[in-house]
Amino acid sequence: MTKYEREIYTVITTSNEHLTVEQIYGQIQEKYPKIVLATIYNNVNKLYEAGLIRKVSIEGMADRYDHIQKHDHLICRNCGKLSDIVLKDLTPSLQEMVGDGFLSYDLKVFYLCPDCRKRLNSNTGV
């Protein structure tokens, strides 16, 4: 692992958010102001291909990167807010499938986040 690869890995895995390449770039820049965006792309791809990080693609947004601990994603249909979710009941059946010939799965659940629900409700009668 090169210096930048390690730095980028740390940024991604210690963040509580799901960072885009731009956001990772911003954080690495604080420490290495001369770094170039392509370097972030290169290293993020290396990490992703090595299976050390996870990629989360959501409609209409740039790709985001995440740690690999198994969890699913909850996405607000309205604002795109992305959070982690652990579906205790489902995970066993899904995990069972994996191994049974399947390699992995990707589950996204859509909802309206509390903020959007409030906002949309208060707009109902207007």
Partner DNA sequence: AGCATAAGTAGAATTATTATAAAATATATA
Partner DNA sequence: TATATATTTTATAATAATTCTACTTATGCT
Question: Quick check: 11 and 27 in contact, CB under 8 A?
Answer: yes
Q: Out of a second copy, DNA, none, which partner does residue 97 contact, by CB within 5 to 8 A per kind?
A: a second copy
Instruction: Tell which one of 9, 23, 43, 53 touches DNA (CB under 7 A).
Output: 43
Q: Binding-site residue total for a second copy (CB under 8 A)?
A: 22
> What b/e readout covers 52-70, taking b as 16+ CB neighbours within 10 angstroms?
ebbebeeeeeeebbbbeee
Closest CB 37 distance from a second copy, rounded Å:
19
Residues β-bridged to residue 65: 19, 55
Q: By CB under 8 A, is residue 41 in contact with a second copy?
A: no
Q: Residue 10: phi, psi to the nearest 5?
A: -65, -45
| Region of residue 14 (phi > 0: left; psi between -120 and 50: alpha; otherwise: beta) | alpha
Closest CB 61 distance from DNA, rounded Å:
8
Closest CB 110 distance from a second copy, rounded Å:
5
Which residues would be at the binding site for DNA (CB under 7 A)?
Answer: 2-5, 20-22, 32, 34-39, 41-43, 45, 60, 62-63
